Chains A and B, each alone.
Chain A
Amino acid sequence: MYAPEVEAPAAVVLPASGLDDLLTALTGRGYEVRGPTLRDGVVIHDRLTGAQDLPRGVGDEQRPGHYRTTPREDDALFGYAVGPSSAKRALFPPRQPLWSAVSVGDADFEIREADRPSPRVALFGLRPCELAAIAVQDRVLLHGAVPDEVYTANRADLLLIGVECGDPAATCFCSSMATGPGTDQGADLLLTELLGGEHRFLLRAPTAAGQALVADLDTRPATEADLAARDALLEDAAGAMERHLDTDGVHDLLLGNLEHPRWDDIAKRCLACGNCTLVCPTCFCTTVEDTTDLAGTTATRERRWDSCFSLDFTHTGPASVRNTTRARYRQWLTHKLATWIDQFDTSGCVGCGRCITWCPVGIDLTAEVATIKRTSEDPDAPARS
């Protein structure tokens, strides 16, 4: 649905000082703009009122189990990689009211659908891995057997503005997943921040909505030098990527090693806290909660994010199916990288690295997959650390 609608026009250049005009143009069109902003030392996605809300001169330092924002020596507005919040929070919120049962007399009730306000939202500053994650969620929640009503409503009138990556974190591996650091698709408007020389943005608009926005801005045509600067930026970013995931044959590798001793080794470290599923931009599992008001006259049913790491997740009458952390981590990783492909014809992983950064004990799925691969090819290699 976000395939280019028209032949992509030539790229243009917007001076960094003009970025506020872009945000104003969005607000003027009635969009609620949500994008990166600094809060409590973390870059999160929240409402933006203007370019002054963007984290200027902020970088980040990410490692397994480690996240810090750091000052940069330049005025970069997008000098950091992804933080913990993803577009999932906007499109498939953590809590979603579904309906209420309102009691009528002693034994009867009627059902009232939840109001579903769908504001016009523009998601600003999404990284290519984020755009790829939305494409994955589209497959799951929009084009699945039963389109999800909440996601569909939030997706309906959505404008996406992407920003390519020049400074990936140490936990990023988007180049392995072919989702970044650059992209030509998935958004209405794509920005590339160029810092050398004049601080400026290269703008490309794959859709008519994006082109209409660009038409409102004071831009100049991109020169060969601008385009070369983008190429160099993306090449450096891809080259700087420290982590890699070998996706070749990973489906059969994991499903062929469901009893691999490495799962036991991971289970010794994994706390089954579910952080990885919460920060993952594609994890879609939910549960429902029924709450009754104090008078007992209205029972509200709410859907909320759930995690396959909780013991309750597989609870049936007598017991849970996945009692051990071993089984729950195995479920998460094999779903993300293997059975997701069977279900939705795409990997569930976009290489954003959030699950590595936000794991309190720093479990790194790229390393775990590499170990399983190495030890299944060479049975003598040690599988336990």
Chain B
Amino acid sequence: MTVLDAPVEVPTRGALTSRPYQVSSVRHQTHDIVTIDVAPQQHPIAFKPGQFDMVYVYGVGEAAISISSDPATPGLLSHTIRAVGWVTKALNDLQPGTTIGIRGPYGRPWPLEEAEGKDLVVITGGIGMAPVRPAIVQALRHRERFGRIVLLKGARSPRDLVFRDDLDRWHADRSIDVHVTVDSAVRGWSGRVGVVTKLIPRVPFDPENSVILLCGPEVMMWFSAEALLGRGVPAERIYVTLERNMKCGVGSCGHCQLGSKFLCRDGPVFSWDEVAALLDVREL
């Protein structure tokens, strides 16, 4: 009797292989921030708020970019990108109809379930709005499950404010308590001026019964966490999302290590008690 060997399963697509997606629209948020939409038909990417993708530009390279769209509509996948390096600058210059590569989603999402029955406080600086936007959108879909939803949003100047449409809508329908502040104002700005951390002691929320989502430059998150701890929020309910150089997204290239953590795989979302001591060591 002839016994045929079972066919060996050869993976057709590696974990590091991007998939092409056509850009459906490019929305300019500010002078150096765009939101790039793709409409995945064949290969939708199911993600959770706070996760990121590796986004590839033909011939230029790849960058880790937070997903900024609504997790409930996988037919529209958005990434919001500030032009900083080669890849992100190329992404800012893209035209609709261009194909980009995407692989993901990667990383540990925001613990939104933990915030149910509590106040949800979101604090962002600059483009830090991008990774928390899906969390806010998802929380609003189940508004009744949360207590207060508070957004403290800082930007360098009025022209650096992203997701203005969202802010106007949320402010208008009073579903969220929105507080916007800019570091430096220009003529015609009638809103607050000052760093976002200064708002923390004043806005109404229950420090003992709240979950905080914090995203911005590391120094801003550090001072925000200090202010939150000062108000009595436990460190384990302050969540931050961290940024480091990421090449693979799956915890194998070694670049994003912080102590024993691979930020891409073990994070990027961490509770403050998990990372405060590590972030306190310079150049770790």
Within 8 Å of chain A (Cβ to Cβ): is B99? yes
Contacting pair A259 B245 (CB below 8 A): no
Contacting pair B20 A286 (CB below 8 A): no
Query: CA separation between A141 and B253, bound complex, in Å?
Result: 10
Within 8 Å of chain A (Cβ to Cβ): is B143? no
Task: Tell me the minimal C-beta distance from A121 to chain B in angstroms.
Answer: 18
Which of B54-62, B168-176, B205-213, B220-228 has 4 or more CB atoms under 8 Å from chain A?
A: B54-62
Identify which of B84, B247, B252, B259 contacts A148 (C-beta below 8 A).
B252
Contacting pair B247 A322 (CB below 8 A): no
Q: Chain A 16-55, CB within 8 Å of chain B: the 1/0 string?
A: 0000000000000000000000000000000000000000
Which of A81-89, A309-317, A354-362, A369-377 has 4 or more CB atoms under 8 Å from chain B?
A: A309-317
Task: Tell me the minimal C-beta distance from B177 to chain A in angstroms.
Answer: 31
Contacting pair B17 A111 (CB below 8 A): yes
Interface majority SS on B: helix, strand, loop or mixed? loop
Contact status of A335 and B257, CB under 8 A, knowing A111-B19, A313-B245? yes
Contacting pair A299 B253 (CB below 8 A): no
Contacting pair B243 A286 (CB below 8 A): no
Task: Tell me the minimal C-beta distance from A49 to chain B in angstroms.
Answer: 30
Chain A residues 307 to 338 lying within 8 A of chain B, measured CB to CB, are: 308, 313-318, 321-324, 326-327, 331, 335, 338
Residues of chain A within 8 A of B13, CB atoms compared: 113
Residues of chain B within 8 A of A287, CB atoms compared: 247, 253, 255
Residue with the greatest number of chain A CB neighbours at <10 A, chosen from B255, B265, B284:
B255
Contacting pair A284 B254 (CB below 8 A): yes
Within 8 Å of chain B (Cβ to Cβ): is A290? yes
Residue with the greatest number of chain B CB neighbours at <10 A, chosen from A286, A308, A315:
A286
Within 8 Å of chain A (Cβ to Cβ): is B244? yes
Chain A residues 282 to 313 lying within 8 A of chain B, measured CB to CB, are: 284-288, 290, 292, 296, 299, 301, 303, 306, 308, 313
Task: Tell me the minimal C-beta distance from B201 to chain A in angstroms.
Answer: 29
Query: CA separation between A321 and B82, bound complex, in Å?
Result: 19
Residues of chain B within 8 A of A314, CB atoms compared: 244-245, 255
Contacting pair B22 A315 (CB below 8 A): no
Contacting pair B250 A146 (CB below 8 A): yes
Report how many residues on chain A are interfacial, defined by Cβ distance under 8 Å: 51
Contacting pair B255 A111 (CB below 8 A): no
Within 8 Å of chain B (Cβ to Cβ): is A339? yes
Query: CA separation between A116 and B253, bound complex, in Å?
Result: 20
Query: CA separation between A301 and B253, bound complex, in Å?
Result: 15
Within 8 Å of chain A (Cβ to Cβ): is B2? no
Task: Tell me the minimal C-beta distance from A91 to chain B in angstroms.
Answer: 14
Task: Tell me the minimal C-beta distance from A72 to chain B in angstroms.
Answer: 39
Contacting pair A288 B58 (CB below 8 A): no
Residues of chain B within 8 A of A313, CB atoms compared: 245, 255
Contacting pair B16 A141 (CB below 8 A): no
Identify which of A107, A109, A111, A301 contacts B95 (C-beta below 8 A).
A107
Query: CA separation between A331 and B17, bound complex, in Å?
Result: 29
Residues of chain B within 8 A of A113, CB atoms compared: 12-14, 17
Q: Chain B 237-279, CB within 8 Å of chain A: the 1/0 string?
A: 0000001110110111111010110100100000000000000
Q: Identify the 9 closest CB pairs spanning chains A and B, nearest first.
A: A285-B254, A327-B283, A317-B84, A342-B260, A339-B260, A299-B59, A292-B59, A146-B250, A107-B98
Q: List 23 A-B contacts (CB under 8 A).
A: A98-B14, A98-B17, A99-B14, A99-B16, A99-B18, A101-B20, A107-B95, A107-B98, A110-B20, A145-B250, A149-B15, A255-B259, A284-B252, A286-B248, A286-B253, A287-B247, A292-B59, A296-B59, A314-B244, A321-B245, A321-B284, A327-B284, A339-B257
